[in-house]
A and B are shown apart, each in its own frame.
Chain A
Amino acid sequence: AAGVIQSPRHLIKEKRETATLKCYPIPRHDTVYWYQQGPGQDPQFLISFYEKMQSDKGSIPDRFSAQQFSDYHSELNMSSLELGDSALYFCASSSGTGPYGYTFGSGTRLTVV
């Protein structure tokens, strides 16, 4: 079965650079979520999109922005990167059927040096 695809898997950036993470949800899933997980931490909700519109916003810094495109893929744009942005970034998708269909991608490991 198709899963949530994230790219790239690993990314190394320098401070103050920008990064773009991509997420391709499971086909026919209409909602995409972004989470940030620091080392040894729990995943923190950043932002979500339902049918290409922002649906909820969590602890996403103003330096970050995201959108969902007409093909339902989503991108998380991160600017003025800081060392503290180093983390695993997960995308998840669901089809509105509740937590049962909630599936996470394998994540992008961002390292800011």
Chain B
Amino acid sequence: GQSLEQPSEVTAVEGAIVQINCTYQTSGFYGLSWYQQHDGGAPTFLSYNALDGLEETGRFSSFLSRSDSYGYLLLQELQMKDSASYFCAVTVGAGSYQLTFGKGTKLSVIP
């Protein structure tokens, strides 16, 4: 089976930088994705890592270390609208992109 661990809550100040960590244990691994979800809304794709290293997309970056079964999402220049839940999710096989999600991290951005 698959299990993912991420912090349940994080609070950060507007304009700051926050890092959300994710560790995983899976029977197979193809890649790690990050999704943002506002209350009652749909998960929205943010970033994806299949190989070790850093992927940067605007204010969001994601990092993966396959040897450590670890990744993180970095959010820079935080804005109030970034207050949401952030999920890491693994895909375990090429061609089968079903996602197994972590429990989610609720980010609160304060003025």
A contact residues vs B (CB 8 Å cutoff): 31, 33, 35, 41-45, 48, 55-56, 58, 88, 90, 94, 96, 98-100, 102-107, 109
**4 further A-B pairs in the complex, CB-CB below 8 A; given A43-B101, A102-B97:** A42-B102, A98-B91, A104-B42, A104-B44
* B42/A98 in contact, CB under 8 A: no
Find chain B residues with CB under 8 A from A105 CB.
42
- Across the two chains, which residue of chain B brings its CB closest to A41? B103
Count how many chain B residues have C-beta atoms less than 8 Å from C-beta atoms of the other chain.
23
Among A56, A104, A105, max chain B CB count under 10 A is at A104
- Across the two chains, which residue of chain B brings its CB closest to A90? B42
> CA A74 – CA B90 in complex, angstroms?
24
B contact residues vs A (CB 8 Å cutoff): 31, 33, 40-45, 48, 50, 87, 91, 94-104
* B99/A45 in contact, CB under 8 A: yes
Find chain A residues with CB under 8 A from B94 CB.
98
* A99/B104 in contact, CB under 8 A: no
> CA A96 – CA B95 in complex, angstroms?
7
Find chain A residues with CB under 8 A from B95 CB.
96
29 A-B pairs within 8 Å (CB atoms) are namely A31-B97, A33-B97, A42-B101, A42-B104, A43-B99, A43-B101, A44-B101, A45-B99, A45-B100, A48-B96, A56-B96, A56-B98, A90-B42, A90-B43, A96-B95, A98-B31, A98-B48, A98-B50, A98-B97, A99-B31, A99-B45, A99-B97, A100-B48, A102-B45, A102-B99, A105-B42, A106-B42, A107-B41, A109-B40
